[in-house]
Amino acid sequence: MSKFGIIGRGFMFVIVGFVTIIVGSFLLRGNMHMWDKVKKDESKKDKE
């Protein structure tokens, strides 16, 4: 039973790690798009 618990913890650790990486990549991608939009808006204001 204790071996199953250790394997289960390791398996959950791997799953949580993958989910964290995937969610983090989406958040970073969204933030980069937001920064791009802000920079474009600022450049438009400077031209005016």
Range 22-39 burial, b when 16+ CB lie within 10 A, else e: eeeeeeeeeeeeeeeeee
Higher-confidence position of 37 and 7: 7
Q: Output the pLDDT for position 48.
A: 47
User: What is residue 1's three-state secondary structure?
Assistant: coil
Q: How far apart are CA 30 and CA 44, in angstroms?
A: 21
Residue 41 pLDDT > 60, yes or no?
A: no
Cα distances from 9 to residues 23, 26, 28, 30, 46, in angstroms, run: 21, 26, 28, 31, 54
pLDDT in tens, 11-29: 999 999 999 999 998 888 8
Q: Output the pLDDT for position 11.
A: 94
pTM for this model (two decimals): 0.53
